[in-house]
Amino acid sequence: MTPLLLCSILGAANERFLAGLAALPDSQAAQLQFAAAARTYDEAWHAGAKEPVVAQNRGRAHCLAGDKARAVAAFHDGLALAPWHTGLHADLQQLRVSIIPPDDRELWPPSSSFIRQRVSPLDRLLIACVASLMVTAGIIARICFGSRYAAKILLLAGGTGVLLVIGCAGESWREEQQEKATPIVVIATPDLILRTGNAAFYPPRRERPLPVGLEARCLARRGGWIRVRIGETLIGWLPADAVIILDHSPRFSSKSANRSAAGSPGFATTSGGYVVGSTGL
Amino acid sequence: MFWTGKCLGILLASLAGVNLQAQTPAVKLADIPAVDRDAPDFYGALAKGSDRVSVTWTVDPEVVPLDGTTSLRLRIEPVVNPDEVRRPALMEMQEFHRLFQIEARGKERPGPEVVVFCYHLRPRQAGVLAIPSLKFRYYRPGFPEPRRFQTTYARSIAVTVTPAMKAPEVSTIRAPAAFFQLVPEPSTTVHVSPWAWLIPLGCTPLLALLGVILTRWLFPTAARRDRNGQISLARKALIALAQAGHDVAPARAVAATVIEYLQRRIPLTGKPRTTEEVLAALAASDWPEHRRTAVAKLLQRCDAARYSGSRDDAESLAAFAQQLIRSWED
């Protein structure tokens, strides 16, 4: 799709969002506008307009249209691209507050590491440039001017910068691999009960149903059921057709996605990297 | 005749309930076979001896609008293990789910042998709705083995559901306040690969080489200046050695001058004063072995002249030191 066409789709989505804001006194009309905006943002996203700001507006449009599950999914789509984006983190946090009851602390997802949330590739590039220049200056000072003290200081500072960059990159990579191993799952159906086994006759793991939009981590899949971890410790089974599975790993965004999805009954893969059940969420 | 006898037996047993309870050993839920514990409609309730367990519904309020909720309570008493009794999952029972939207709430313990489970019901239709009776099995240890599992029922009660109190309002959009605005797109977007930091680090050796070449080209006297610094240092040391003969303690002056020269020339770690300290510091540095040996020899001769009255005079020591420094700087 050409950039011009993408811009026009995004422009249309923004216009519908603004129309929804203008129609706020009439909530139903506003929700219709927000739903239309959300659909257009989805279209733009899947067509290639993958920017953190687009993900942010997309998530907001879904939330205002009343679909909190898709809003959470949209924010996570953006965070998969830009884990350091503070706006996406702030929006997701606010949405979580509105989804998870205050007395249900065990449902809160564990926070990811500070480095991955704050240090962007641009920051790492800048630190690496400064460190490289310091090391170069240290070498020049030692070889050309015989200044041992200045060379020592510069090489020490530059070396620290290099180690810092390597450490940040390593930590980000490690967490990314960990997240790919356990994809995010978003509850999309109301009154969903977490069970101790992969069938409806197993007893509930907890009596209260799970709120729509709650995030979990997919640990395993069997038949039409998935084993999930909610929060730090709560582990149980959910029907796969009642959740949205956000799989951002390459195996689901390539041709192999269709093969792997076809291999497991009850799954289908959308172009956005979502794996959803047969209900066609 | 058989049935009459059996009924009589039961009657007598119930009349002598106290004695029977006294004879019945305390039974725990874990003592019951697992296959019986997981039986349908058994929620783990253990009766007290041969006492009956009663199960009753209470609903408050009994009249509820269609868009309202009412509290339903299931009272189970007397049981010896109120903490172990499991909550009946009404939300999974079709007859309940058809009439009400059910949410499990807390659990109450109004007495030592009583347990109350609370639910919130939201009716799905208007009219007089009957809360269905609930089949409830419990274990009665005071009875003979084949008849210990007894069944009782929570009797059905009625709830009157009136039409909705008011017409449904136009729903307001519930979302965080920050969501009610469009995030503007940034004027410039910088796309950086997560591995872009490897480029400057990988280019560092090349950059350093270019830097050295460029610096040598731009400042051709810089290296010479460094060399000049060393020559100046050596010149000062040679002058000081020449004047050592006029000192009160010439051997000490020669040693001090050489140590100061080495301190600035190498430089040495710490501030060595004695011969041993200087030799140790030299050993830690990259100063060549033959030079270290020469320094050791000079300092030992100085020490000998200072403390044991050897035949070395000021001139010979200064000459030896000057010779060493000249050989190092040539």
- A60 and A155 share a domain? no
Are A51 and A130 in a shared domain?
A: no
For residues A193 and A174, membership in a common domain is answered with no
Q: Would you state the structure tokens that stand for residue A171, as one six-digit string?
A: 């930590």
Cβ contacts (< 8 Å) between A14 and chain B: which residues?
182
- E-strand ranges in chain B read 42-46, 54-60, 63-65, 70-77, 100-108, 115-123, 127-131, 134-139, 149-154, 157-162
Same domain, A159 and A194: no
Q: Which residue of A has its CA nearest to B266?
A: A148
Q: Is residue A119 part of a domain?
A: yes
- Looking at chain B from residue 183 to 202, which residues have their Cβ under 8 Å from any Cβ of chain A? 183-186, 189-190, 192-201
pLDDT band, residue A99 (cuts 50/70/90): very high
Task: Note the pLDDT tens digit of each residue in A109-153.
Answer: 887 777 777 888 888 999 999 999 999 999 988 888 767 788 889
Give the model's confidence band at A259: pLDDT under 50 very low, under 70 low, under 90 confident, else very high: very low
CATH of the domain at A55: 1.25.40.10
Which residues 19-38 in chain A show a CB within 8 A of chain B?
A: 21, 24, 26-28, 30-31, 34
Residue B224: per-residue pLDDT = 61
In chain A, residues with a C-beta closer than 8 Å to the C-beta of B102 are none
The reported pLDDT for the residue numbered A94 is 92
Which of B102, B122, B179 would best serve as a mutation to test chain A binding (most A beta carbons within 10 A)? B179
pTM of the model as a whole: 0.54
CB contact under 8 A, B183 and A136: no
Question: What's the pLDDT at B209?
Answer: 92
Please check whether residue A135 touches B, CB under 8 A: yes
A112 interface with B at CB cutoff 8 Å: no
The reply to whether A109 falls in a domain is no
**Contact at CB, B175 and A63, closer than 8 angstroms:** yes
Q: In what order do the strands lie in the sheet with B54-60?
A: B54-60, B70-77, B115-123, B100-108
Question: Does the structure show a pLDDT above 80 at A91?
Answer: yes
Supply the range of the domain harboring residue A253. 182-281
Long-range contacts, B163-168 (Cβ 8 Å, 24+): B163/B65, B163/B66, B163/B126, B164/B65, B164/B66, B164/B67, B165/B65, B165/B67, B165/B68, B166/B67, B168/B67
pLDDT at residue B163 in the model? 83
Query: Are A128 and B186 an interchain contact pair (Cβ–Cβ within 8 Å)?
Result: no
- What's the pLDDT score for residue B228? 64
The answer to whether residue A107 is domain-embedded is: no
Q: How many CB atoms lie within 10 A of CB B185?
A: 13
Q: Looking at the complex, report in whole angstroms how far the Cα of residue B312 sits from the nearest Cα belonging to chain A.
A: 38
Q: What is the pLDDT of residues A177-217, one digit of tens each?
A: 888 888 999 999 998 999 999 998 999 998 889 999 999 99
Q: Is B28 on the interface with A (CB under 8 A)?
A: no
Q: What is the mean pLDDT of residues A83-91?
A: 90
Is the pLDDT assigned to residue A96 strictly greater than 60? yes
> How many distinct structural domains can be found in chain A?
3
Q: Is residue A70 part of a domain?
A: yes
A4 and A85 inside one domain: yes
Q: Could you tell me if A91 and A132 lie in one domain?
A: no
**Of A163, A180, A197, at which residue does a domain stop?**
A180
A237 and A247 co-located in one domain: yes
Residue A110, in any domain of the structure: no
For residue A260, the model assigns a pLDDT of 36
| pLDDT band for position A249 (cuts 50, 70, 90) | low
Q: Is residue A275 part of a domain?
A: yes
What pLDDT is recorded for position B98?
A: 85
Give the pLDDT confidence score for residue B127 in this predicted structure: 86
Q: Which residues of chain B have pLDDT under 50?
A: 1-23
- A53: chain B residues, CB-CB within 8 Å: 183-186
- H-helix or E-strand spanning residue A220: strand A215-222
Q: What is the pLDDT of residue A173?
A: 87
Render pLDDT for A41-52 as a digit per residue (tens, 0 to 9): 999 998 888 889
Q: Are B197 and A56 inside 8 Å of each other by CB?
A: no
- Residue A91: its chain B contacts at CB < 8 A? 176, 178-179
